[in-house]
């Protein structure tokens, strides 16, 4: 039995048409898409498959769409006989992708995950409107210097995505100041991100507080598949840990580099990225080139995967 880890992408991976071939070729995947429409009371599938892109990009559709497409791909994977010889040891996801990981691990049901994602998105949107902010990706700049510049400028680290890719977040003027300081210090690639707010920053605290209240009544099940928290970069062993860390994730740094390192140190060699895009595959290769990462986002990917 081969031990593997599953990873799930976050916001930004969406694209019109994602998962359509899985819907057409996998009964299990189709059932997931149809269930999402039923749970949300909207034709999410139509927006995913046909767009328009502007609608898919909105908070109301984007996050549920990525999660649903990822879970549909996972359902297709589980229905394929070739996966009977693998044992999933860990699941992890980048920001929003952590909900895919929890659903895959059995911590949350598909229906409960969708409802939580909907509420999380609404709370984050409220916080973004109340505290307007920005985010920027910094490529190829020393992490220690970047942390110091953020401290000096008054902004925060949103994501440690890879050794050479870090995202900063905070009030627009403070992010602009940090970007200027980074450029002066020799930073060659500073990219302003087209996002609706300063996610993964203290400006999202109000969203986290509201989400924490919602989680109090949610049944969280701990299973044999360990979910690695974005907040701690460690596997969570109890429902109480998950209940504490999920709200924290909204305003804390996503420690993706350490998450991948934790999986590798735990003996994982094979990782499957499930869902739209191949962003995580690229990041993981930068973090640890010895890991074998494959991606499943189409029926063709599923047919070609080697285990």
Instruction: Provide the annotated active-site residues.
Output: 95, 200
The strand pair at 165-171 and 156-162 is best described as antiparallel
Q: What is the CA radius of gyration of the chain?
A: 19
β-partners of residue 192 are: 136
Strands, sheet with 189-192, edge to edge from the N-terminal-most edge strand: 156-162, 165-171, 133-139, 189-192
* Both structure tokens of 287: 């973090």
| Residue environment code for 242-251, b if the CB has 16+ CB neighbours within 10 A, otherwise e | bebbbbbbbb
Nearest to 161 by CA among 6, 305, 39, 10: 10
Nearest to 3 by CA among 292, 304, 302: 292
β-partners of residue 295 are: 273
Task: Enumerate residues 6+ apart whose C-beta is below 8 A from 121.
Answer: 59, 60, 62, 63, 64
Cα separation, 35 vs 50, whole angstroms: 18
């Amino acid at each position: 039995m081969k031990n593997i880890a599953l990873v799930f992408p976050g916001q930004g991976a969406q694209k019109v048409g994602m998962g359509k071939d899985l819907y057409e070729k996998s009964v299990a995947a189709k059932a997931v898409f149809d269930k999402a429409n039923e749970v949300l009371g909207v034709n999410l599938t139509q927006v995913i498959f046909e767009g328009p892109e502007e609608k898919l990009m909105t908070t109301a559709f984007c996050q549920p769409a990525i999660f649903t497409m990822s879970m549909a791909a996972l359902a297709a994977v589980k229905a394929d006989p070739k996966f009977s010889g693998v044992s999933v040891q860990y699941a992890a996801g980048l920001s929003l992708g952590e909900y895919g990981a929890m659903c895959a691990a059995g911590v949350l049901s598909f229906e409960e995950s969708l409802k939580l994602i909907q509420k999380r998105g609404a709370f984050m949107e409220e916080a973004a409107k109340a505290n307007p902010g920005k985010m920027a990706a910094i490529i190829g700049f020393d992490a220690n210097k970047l942390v110091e510049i953020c401290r000096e400028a008054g902004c925060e680290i949103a994501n440690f995505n890879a050794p050479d890719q870090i995202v900063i977040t905070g009030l627009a003027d403070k992010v602009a100041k940090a970007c200027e300081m980074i450029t002066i210090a020799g930073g060659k690639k500073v990219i302003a991100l087209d996002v609706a707010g300063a996610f993964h920053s203290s400006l999202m605290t109000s969203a986290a507080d509201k989400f924490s209240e919602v989680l109090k009544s949610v049944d969280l099940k701990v299973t044999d598949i360990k979910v690695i928290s974005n907040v701690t970069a460690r596997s969570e062993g109890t429902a109480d840990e998950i209940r504490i860390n999920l709200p924290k994730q909204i305003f804390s740094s996503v420690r993706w580099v350490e998450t991948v390192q934790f999986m590798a140190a735990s003996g994982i060699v094979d990782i499957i990225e499930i869902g739209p895009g191949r962003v995580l595959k690229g990041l993981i290769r930068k973090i640890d080139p010895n890991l074998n990462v494959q991606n499943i986002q189409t029926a063709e990917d599923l047919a070609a995967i080697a285990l």
